[in-house]
Structure 1
Amino acid sequence: MPLFLELVREVSARDPKLAAEALAGLRAYEQAPRRERPAPKPEIARVRGAALRDHGGEGPPAVLVPSLINPPRILDLDDQVSLTGAVARMGRHALLLDWGRADERSELSVAGHVEQLLLPLLRSISEPVALIGYCLGGTMAIAAANLCPVERLVSLAAPWNFARYPERSKAALKDMWRHSESAALSLGALPMEVLQAAFWSLDPERTVRKFAEFGRLDPASAEARRFVELEEWANDGEPLPYPAAKELVDGLFGEDLSGSARWAVGGITVSDRTLPRSLHLTAERDLIAPPQTAACGEATAIASGHVGMIVGSARQRLHAVLASFLQP
């Protein structure tokens, strides 16, 4: 937690009380019990290290595509907030994509993940699916919908028009890449810790404040347990393969390849203007994928942040909109 302690040090200069509360919250977090993670759901298809996992439900298939950057379990964090579980109750057969180990896809760019993993998995299903992509997974789902039959498409907090990011956010990412690209090239991947540091830099005071708030919770409460689960998720995950990291930073953020209709995937230039029936759900307080970066088309804003729309109280609004859109 060296970076977090540095953030606390910076905050302490202007708010020593908040800094002290955050350190108490950090101690409580470190001492909190960890839940044993459930076994992965059964596979229904596999391509190399990536798999579609069966999350139940009956009806037409819906494939949920997580980001490459964190583990897929954010979409099935626990029974109360599980998005896959909610989709399974919407008259859909819910299938969650598990990207698998980074070392089994180390040569793949973001586009390569679409071409060599996502598309073959979608084609393994005998009928067009409803495709639901979260964060970078939504960006990739839009690309995939240009290349294979999709019944309908939903993006959740997914950027497409990268030029619309605030200049401060783009500058911070560029600076992170300048300091880490050489090491990432040597390792063949960008470590999760570097990406987490980039996320924390978007709102450092909020990062400190959430630990202060955690320290006030009843450790046995569901809210406290979920906080621990979320932090474990946010700090976990496979590194991002170097070609994917480079395309994300230089190609998507740097050149806005997707938003400027210059992103080549699967031998074509993919577009957000030639999609099947689609809906883009944005989070009003999202700093990771601000609402203005969403693809063009029908959009609904959820009053939440990037993760809160999935696992916070705003999920109920998201589920209601999603259920209406996914009606077979």
Structure 2
Amino acid sequence: MLQPHLAAVGADALARAVDREMRHRLDRLLTGIERYRRHPYHRDLEDPPTVWAEGAARLLDFGGRGAPALFVPSLVNRGYILDLSRHRSLLRWLAGNGVRPLLLDWGRPVAAERSFDLTDLIAGRLTRALAAARRHLDGRRPALVGYCMGGLLTVAAAQRRPDDVAALVALATPWDFHADTPAGARRTAALLPVFEPALGVLGELPVDAIQTLFLMLDPLLGLKKFSRFAELPEGSEEADDFVALEDWLNDGVPLPAPVARECLGGWYGRNDPGRGRWHVAGEPVGPARLTLPTLVVVPARDRIVPPASAAALAAAIPGAERWDPPLGHIGMVVSGGAEATLWRPLRDWLVRTVPA
């Protein structure tokens, strides 16, 4: 349909128009990158008190009074996405509004932790962090709140230690890795042999390799977001928020080699969780065995965890409550609409479900 219009324009004029547009888009991209590089914002929040530590991991107490909740983030990103800035902190907001949040900060793996597998992290470190949380809370049982990859870890931990957990919340948690595009998941798994030399030499999957996996989800994302940043007013709160989030995205954490092999090969390749074949400490992880009050949050605009993958977890847990907020994977916890769409409803659910 465009061919007659393009012919009327003429080849030379069309080439000049395309050249102008390409230059304009490239200029916006480079302007955005340069503004990001010289932006003065830096995160200056002090960490809350550490009440337990083991290896690189710390248990942070955000204070507050009310329903206790232990938040468990992903292993590949820093946990402070839940405490991003002074006005974009889910955990600090909860602490001031009827919840007693603790955060398991996994830290950056030290040399001795590069041999850890998921059993070491779930049946070992997470279980001991949960026990430490109960001691710190004078025996009260917290809700386990897992975000993204952390949600898979909390599902397994809650199954192993149900008497230590009051409730379970899974935020944007993948479960059936083949529910959306099985071929795409297998393409991700196919990169494991490519990464194997680095895993063997370094004992971990480097941050740059993990960033490559995320880039595959949307190769044009960098172009789009920095071009948009170039048009934001300098010194605006929105610009500060962009830099805060981008700094977090670039502050990744490497994965211990055994964990990387389990995640890429077992989760993305074989779909072990979705097929009921994922084992921790020799025991199958079966959501159908959970009897805890459970909330599964499935962000409708999630481009990192396909909604169909997260929805499979809600379907697998008997009696689980499911929410589908109209936000993305990260926007669900830090966007301008996060307080009304997730923070407040989550607070209300925890307060009415978990004994204070």
> TM-score over 0.5 for the alignment?
yes
Shift of 1:13: 9.3
**Structure 1 residues 177 and 219, CA gap change in structure 2 (3 angstroms):** farther
What is the aligned partner in structure 2 of residue 274 from structure 1? 289
Structure 2: 5+ residue stretches without partners: 1-17, 315-319
| Cα distance in 2 for residues equivalent to 1:306 and 1:86 | 19
What is the aligned partner in structure 1 of residue 15 from structure 2? none
| Cα distance in 2 for residues equivalent to 1:324 and 1:68 | 27
What is the aligned partner in structure 2 of residue 157 from structure 1? 172
What is the aligned partner in structure 2 of residue 107 from structure 1? 115
Deviations 1:68-111 (A, max 9, x none): 00111100001212111132234221101111221242111233
Q: Would the aligned equivalents of 2:62 and 2:102 in 1 still touch at CA under 8 Å?
A: yes
Structure 1: 5+ residue stretches without partners: 1-11
SS at match of 1:273: helix
Q: Which one of 203, 207, 229 corresponds to residue 214 of structure 1? A: 229
| Cα distance in 1 for residues equivalent to 2:104 and 2:224 | 33
Partner amino acid, structure 2, of 1:42: P
2:46 is aligned with 1:39: yes
What is the aligned partner in structure 1 of residue 25 from structure 2? 18
Partner amino acid, structure 2, of 1:321: P
Note the aligned Cα RMSD (angstroms).
Answer: 1.9
2:117 is aligned with 1:94: no
- The worse-fitting range, judged by mean Cα deviation, of 253-262 and 265-274 is 265-274
Shift of 1:280: 0.7
Shift of 1:34: 3.6
| Cα distance in 1 for residues equivalent to 2:147 and 2:207 | 18
| Cα distance in 2 for residues equivalent to 1:303 and 1:315 | 10
| Cα distance in 2 for residues equivalent to 1:100 and 1:161 | 27
Deviations 1:119-164 (A, max 9, x none): 1110121232111111101111111110113101111111111121
- Tell me the TM-score normalized by structure 2: 0.84
Structure with larger Rg: 2
- The worse-fitting range, judged by mean Cα deviation, of 50-59 and 161-170 is 161-170
Q: Would the aligned equivalents of 1:302 and 1:314 in 2 still touch at CA under 8 Å?
A: no
- The worse-fitting range, judged by mean Cα deviation, of 137-146 and 100-109 is 100-109
Shift of 1:324: 2.3
SS at match of 1:102: coil
| Cα distance in 1 for residues equivalent to 2:196 and 2:41 | 33
Number of matched pairs: 317
Return structure 1 stretches of 4+ with deviation > 6 angstroms.
Answer: 12-15
Q: Would the aligned equivalents of 2:206 and 2:254 in 1 still touch at CA under 8 Å?
A: yes
**Structure 1 residues 161 and 171, CA gap change in structure 2 (3 angstroms):** closer
Correspondence list, 1:193-204, <5 A: 193-204=208-219
| Cα distance in 1 for residues equivalent to 2:216 and 2:28 | 20
2:185 is aligned with 1:170: yes
- Tell me the TM-score normalized by structure 1: 0.91
Q: Would the aligned equivalents of 2:295 and 2:321 in 1 still touch at CA under 8 Å?
A: yes
**Structure 1 residues 269 and 35, CA gap change in structure 2 (3 angstroms):** same
| Cα distance in 1 for residues equivalent to 2:335 and 2:19 | 31
Partner amino acid, structure 1, of 2:46: A
SS at match of 2:298: strand
What is the aligned partner in structure 1 of residue 37 from structure 2? 30
| Cα distance in 2 for residues equivalent to 1:181 and 1:128 | 41
Q: Would the aligned equivalents of 1:18 and 1:209 in 2 still touch at CA under 8 Å?
A: no
SS at match of 2:166: strand
Q: Which one of 321, 326, 338 corresponds to residue 315 of structure 1? A: 338
Q: Would the aligned equivalents of 2:67 and 2:350 in 1 still touch at CA under 8 Å?
A: no
Q: Would the aligned equivalents of 1:172 and 1:198 in 2 still touch at CA under 8 Å?
A: no
Shift of 1:184: 2.0
Correspondence list, 1:184-199, <5 A: 184-199=199-214
| Cα distance in 2 for residues equivalent to 1:222 and 1:169 | 37
Q: Would the aligned equivalents of 2:59 and 2:104 in 1 still touch at CA under 8 Å?
A: yes
- The worse-fitting range, judged by mean Cα deviation, of 265-274 and 136-145 is 265-274
Q: Which one of 320, 323, 328 corresponds to residue 305 of structure 1? A: 328
